[in-house]
Structure 1
Amino acid sequence: MGTFLLLMAEAAAVGGELAEGAEHSGFGLNTNILETNLINLAIIITVLFVFGRKVLGTTLKSRRENIETAIKSAEQRAAAAAKQLQEAQQKLTQAQAEATRIKAEAEESAKAAQKVILDQAAADIQRMQETGAADLNAELDKAIAQLRQRVVNQALQKAEAQLKAGISEDAQTTIIDRSIAQLGG
């Protein structure tokens, strides 16, 4: 940076001399090497070229090394990211396979549970029908027994009523004949 300032100062001095020369005589060329500072400019340019090349070279070299390091680091990160992506894809594939297997198992167990429930329901329906039929038969038998009891009671009441009223001779003869015929005679 210091060499650049020095170069600027020299350029300003040369510009000032040119402006001064233009005021006195108008426009013209100064061929005096010492007045025009060509030697100083040549020295400054040579110094800048020799030392500036080294400074610029080292700066560019360090910049290049930094860029190369950054590129290598980026390539390593990209490779690591690609590896992680591949691992994540493998895990995703495994998880999808596991989910498919679990879903298939769940469907199988649901079908088995459905079959068990339907079989149990059919057995319960059959048992209820049998229980209902048994209850119906028991109620029917009970109703028949009650009807028989009523018929017997009514027959006894009628028989008692007829006995109290008395049996006619014709009825007594008919009863005796029937009884004899039943006994075998």
Structure 2
Amino acid sequence: MGIMGTILLLAAENSELAEGAAEGGFGLNIDIFETNLINLAILIGILFYFGRKVLSNILSERQSNIATAIQEAEGRLKEAKIALGQAQEQLTQSQAEAQRIRKAAEENAQKAKEALLAKAAQDVERLKQTAAADLNSETERAIAQLRQLVVAQALEKVETELKSGIADDAQQSLIDRSIAQLGGRV
């Protein structure tokens, strides 16, 4: 008979005793054999003898699992510290790169601003020159129109005087002057 058989036998005897006690009512039983103290002692001894090995195996396995879990956690901690260091280094590099880009953008913006101001100054100067040229051409056109008007009025006056006749002295002096202007001598 194995261990299981012994345990079943003890359990069966224990249940028969319990049924006998239920019939007689409640009372204090001092008989060692009837109270199963020996059976309980044997059962505890068997459990202690066989359970110690099982329990020690379970506890040692549990201890090794915990040690393995601690080692894995420590390894992950080291990896996390390394990753944190790398991330901080990348952050520092990214911040330096962002600062460099910002500085370059500010320099480019300043150059663009200066270029726009220079172009605007050139455009203003060109517009001034164009306006001055337009003003000069308008002035010359106005002067030309005035000359034409004066010439037209002078010709009108001359025609009027010619129609009324020219005195002989005035005709002679006009002819002399015309010849002198042409380069001839009188």
TM above 0.5: yes
- Tell me the TM-score normalised to structure 1 length: 0.76
SS of equivalent residue, structure 2 residue 27: coil
- Tell me the TM-score normalised to structure 2 length: 0.75
8 Å contact 1:7–1:44 — kept in the other structure? yes
Identify unmatched segments of 5+ residues in structure 1. 180-185
Shift of 1:172: 4.3
Q: Aligned runs of 1:42-61 on 2, under 5 Å?
A: 42-61=41-60
2:71 match: 72
1:13 match: 13
Pairwise CA RMSD of aligned residues? 3.3
Measured against aligned partners, the alpha-carbon deviations of 1:105-150 in whole angstroms (never above 9, x if no partner) come to: 1111111111111111101110111121012112211221221122
AA matched with 2:20: E
State the distance in 1 between where 2:141 and 2:10 align: 139
Q: Does 1:152 align with 2:151?
A: yes
Shift of 1:160: 1.7
| Count of aligned positions | 173
State the distance in 2 between where 1:147 and 1:89 align: 85
Which of 97-106 and 82-91 deviates more?
A: 82-91
Measured against aligned partners, the alpha-carbon deviations of 1:63-90 in whole angstroms (never above 9, x if no partner) come to: 1111221122122223222322232222
Task: State the identity %.
Answer: 47
Structure 2 vs 1, CA of residues 4 and 81 (structure 1 numbering), >3 Å: closer, same or farther?
farther
8 Å contact 2:14–2:36 — kept in the other structure? yes
AA matched with 1:16: E
State the distance in 2 between where 1:93 and 1:140 align: 69
Identify unmatched segments of 5+ residues in structure 2. 178-186
State the distance in 2 between where 1:150 and 1:22 align: 154
2:103 match: 104
